[in-house]
């Protein structure tokens, strides 16, 4: 299966404390997804790990 790796930055707020933290890293995404959907795929995968991002930026597009 083809995959691609994307670098991302973003912010997540801890609901218990209200503290906002910068998040960043790389994420492997199924290459059949259109690139404009990468931020949603990353945000959804982070949510599965318990990280609820306020916004994600992949490349130049910042998405809330």
pLDDT in tens, 17-55: 999 999 999 998 888 877 778 888 899 999 999 898 999
Q: What is the pTM of this model?
A: 0.75
Q: DSSP letter for 33, please.
A: S
Q: What is the pLDDT of residue 24?
A: 94
Burial class (CB in 10 A: 0-12, 13-18, 19+), 38: buried
Residue 54 lies in a domain: yes
8 pLDDT more than 80: yes
CA 20 to chain centre: 15
Number of domains comprising the chain: 1
| Contact of 53 with 64, CB cutoff 8 Å | no
64, pLDDT greater than 70: no
- pLDDT for 36 equals 78
Q: Is residue 15 part of a domain?
A: no
- Boundaries of domain holding 39: 29-64
On the 0-12 / 13-18 / 19+ scale of CB atoms within 10 A, 56 is: buried
Does some domain include residue 48?
Answer: yes
pLDDT recorded at residue 23:
95
């Amino acid at each position: 299966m083809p995959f691609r790796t994307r670098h991302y930055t973003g912010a997540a707020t801890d609901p218990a404390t209200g503290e906002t933290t910068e998040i960043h890293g790389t994420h492997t995404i199924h290459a059949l997804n259109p690139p404009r959907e990468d931020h949603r795929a990353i945000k959804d995968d982070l949510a599965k790990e318990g990280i609820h991002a306020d916004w994600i930026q992949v490349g130049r597009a910042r998405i809330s």
